[in-house]
């Protein structure tokens, strides 16, 4: 298999991309919020998935499984789906199509989910799901590099919905009285969408919500995707990262090099810091876990590395490959990639919700 050529820049409406390797690049985190400012811990109800289901005329080919040592061009390169989603908050056709050239894996999609979703708009996410124009590419034959890169959109699910773990919510420094914003924030403390109860971003049962421009996206394990794939407690390939490596959800082999070993829930290697960082907003108001900076990477404490990945065999890649996991605990979706990510799908500049953050983020084990 040949290595991928120079990266191509694909333009998308209101979004353009930049990658500088091996330097770390991070763009504005995106999120959901109804108000621009709040100084309270935040409250809100819960959202529940609708039962309208998905229907209409659909067409889908298998995501693919590997042979004795599968050619990467056989894994998911002919996946296509088009079907009407009758969920009350969608009522639109979901389309996605994956293809492969000699060097690249490509996705075209409209970002409409192919499964039930929660209620949108809702009290904590007043945005309506709408179709997007998605065109992304990634290396077909990815390679690990010596550095990691932090990116905003880390990859896409089979249905063309993006994995976008960050939010635009932030709080300013100050232990006495921090000012927080759930949308377009510019504070030093980055609010997490999941794993905390201080703020409510209106996510549904798929750990997803909607940006102001109508872009539905996942902040954690896409439960609807797993339900639709129907593999149960098994390694389940749910999509690909922009560096070309596959993304699995929740389950992996107990022994990384043994496909006959027992299936287990894979755990990340991050933990809450024992002591809050200096200048952090009060833990009495915002308990630990409210901010990304509350977590630290502890090598060897879990199954995965700092990018929530590991090298081993998988059902689709029986000879082994580096691969990422979506996990039930932080970071939920990886915040960095270990390969060279295609510029397609990454963004810089003002995101749709008006927030922007540029420059190198702290390393995984730093505050």
Q: According to DSSP H, which parts of the chain are helical?
A: 223-229
Cα separation, 141 vs 186, in Å, equals 38
Q: Which residue is it, tokens 């940006």? A: 211
Other CB atoms within 10 A of residue 90 CB = 24
Residue 22 in any domain: the answer is no
Residue 74, helix vs strand vs coil? helix
Report the candidate in 102, 107, 51 with the shortest Cα–Cα distance to residue 81: 107
Q: Which two tokens stand for residue 83?
A: 């079907």
Q: Which two tokens stand for residue 312?
A: 């081993």
Cα separation, 357 vs 27, in Å, equals 6
pLDDT of residue 177: 75
Q: Which residue is it, tokens 């409510």? A: 200
Cα separation, 131 vs 128, in Å, equals 10
Cα separation, 317 vs 48, in Å, equals 36
DSSP 122-182: BTTB--------EEEEEESS--EEEEEEE-S--EEETTS-EE----S-EE-S-SS---EES
What's the number of domains the chain is made of?
1
Residue 12 in any domain: the answer is no
pLDDT of residue 175: 66
Residue 34 in any domain: the answer is no
Our CA angle for 121, 131, 202, nearest 5°, is: 25
Other CB atoms within 10 A of residue 45 CB = 11
As to burial, measured by CB atoms within 10 angstroms (0-12 exposed, 13-18 middle, 19+ buried), residue 174 is: middle
Report the candidate in 266, 89, 286, 74 with the shortest Cα–Cα distance to residue 179: 286
- Largest separation between any pair of C-alpha atoms in the chain: 60
Residue 233 in any domain: the answer is yes
Residues pairing with 51 in the sheet: none
pLDDT of residue 72: 72
Residue 38 in any domain: the answer is no
- Rounded (10°) CA dihedral 153, 137, 214, 225: -80
Cα separations (Å) of 162 from 86, 167, 217, 331?
20, 13, 5, 16
- What percent helix, strand, coil does the chain show, rounded to 5? 5, 25, 70
Cα separation, 156 vs 160, in Å, equals 6
The per-residue pLDDT of the chain, averaged, comes to 81
Calculate Rg over the CA atoms of the chain.
19
Cα separation, 154 vs 330, in Å, equals 15
Q: What is the pLDDT of residues 21-51, one digit of tens each?
A: 332 223 334 556 543 333 333 333 333 333 3
| pLDDT at residue 349 greater than cutoff 50 | no
Residue 8 in any domain: the answer is no
Residue 227, helix vs strand vs coil? helix
Cα separation, 203 vs 218, in Å, equals 9
Q: Which two tokens stand for residue 277?
A: 């960082």
Q: Cβ distance 202 to 124 under 8 Å?
A: yes
For 268, the domain range is: 54-339
Q: What is the pLDDT of residues 297-330, one digit of tens each?
A: 999 999 999 999 999 999 999 999 999 999 999 9
pLDDT of residue 33: 57
Cα separation, 293 vs 280, in Å, equals 9
| pLDDT at residue 359 greater than cutoff 50 | no
Residue 306 in any domain: the answer is yes
Cα separation, 94 vs 112, in Å, equals 5
Average pLDDT over residues 61-90: 80
Report the candidate in 209, 202, 183 with the shortest Cα–Cα distance to residue 356: 183
pLDDT of residue 2: 39
Residue 158 in any domain: the answer is yes
Q: What is the pLDDT of residues 132-188, one digit of tens each?
A: 999 999 999 999 998 899 989 999 999 999 999 999 999 998 766 789 999 887 899
């Amino acid at each position: 298999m040949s290595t991928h050529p120079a990266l191509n820049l694909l333009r998308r409406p209101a979004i353009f991309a930049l990658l500088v390797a091996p330097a770390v690049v991070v763009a504005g985190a995106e999120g959901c919020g109804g108000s621009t400012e709040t100084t309270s811990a935040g409250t809100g109800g819960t959202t529940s998935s609708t039962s309208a289901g998905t229907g209409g005329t659909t067409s889908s080919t298998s995501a693919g499984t590997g042979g004795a040592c599968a050619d990467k061009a056989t894994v998911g390169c002919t996946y296509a789906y088009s079907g009407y989603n009758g969920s009350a908050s969608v009522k639109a056709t979901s389309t996605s199509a994956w293809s492969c050239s000699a060097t690249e894996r490509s996705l075209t999609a409209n970002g409409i989910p192919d499964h039930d979703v929660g209620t949108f708009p809702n009290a904590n996410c007043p945005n309506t799901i709408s179709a997007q124009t998605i065109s992304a590419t990634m290396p077909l034959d990815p390679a690990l590099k010596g550095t990691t890169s932090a990116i905003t959109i880390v990859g896409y699910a089979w249905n063309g919905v993006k994995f976008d773990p960050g939010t635009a919510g932030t709080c300013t420094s100050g232990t006495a009285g921090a000012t927080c914003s759930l949308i377009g924030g510019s504070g030093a403390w980055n609010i997490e969408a999941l794993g905390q109860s201080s703020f409510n971003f209106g996510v549904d049962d798929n750990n997803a919500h909607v940006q102001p421009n109508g872009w539905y996206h996942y902040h954690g394990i896409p439960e609807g995707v797993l339900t639709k794939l129907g593999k149960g407690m098994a390694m389940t390939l749910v999509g690909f990262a922009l560096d070309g490596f596959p993304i699995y959800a929740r389950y992996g082999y107990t022994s990384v090099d043994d496909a006959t070993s027992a299936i287990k829930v894979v755990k990340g290697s991050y933990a809450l810091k024992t002591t809050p960082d200096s200048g952090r907003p009060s833990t009495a108001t915002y308990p630990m876990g409210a901010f990304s900076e509350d977590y630290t990477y502890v090598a060897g404490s879990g199954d995965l590395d700092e990018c929530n990945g590991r090298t081993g065999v998988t059902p689709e890649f029986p000879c082994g490959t580096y691969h990422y996991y979506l996990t039930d605990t932080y970071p939920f979706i990886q915040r960095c990639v270990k390969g060279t990510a295609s510029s397609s799908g990454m963004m810089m500049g003002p995101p749709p919700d008006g927030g922007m953050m540029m420059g190198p983020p702290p390393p995984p084990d730093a505050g």
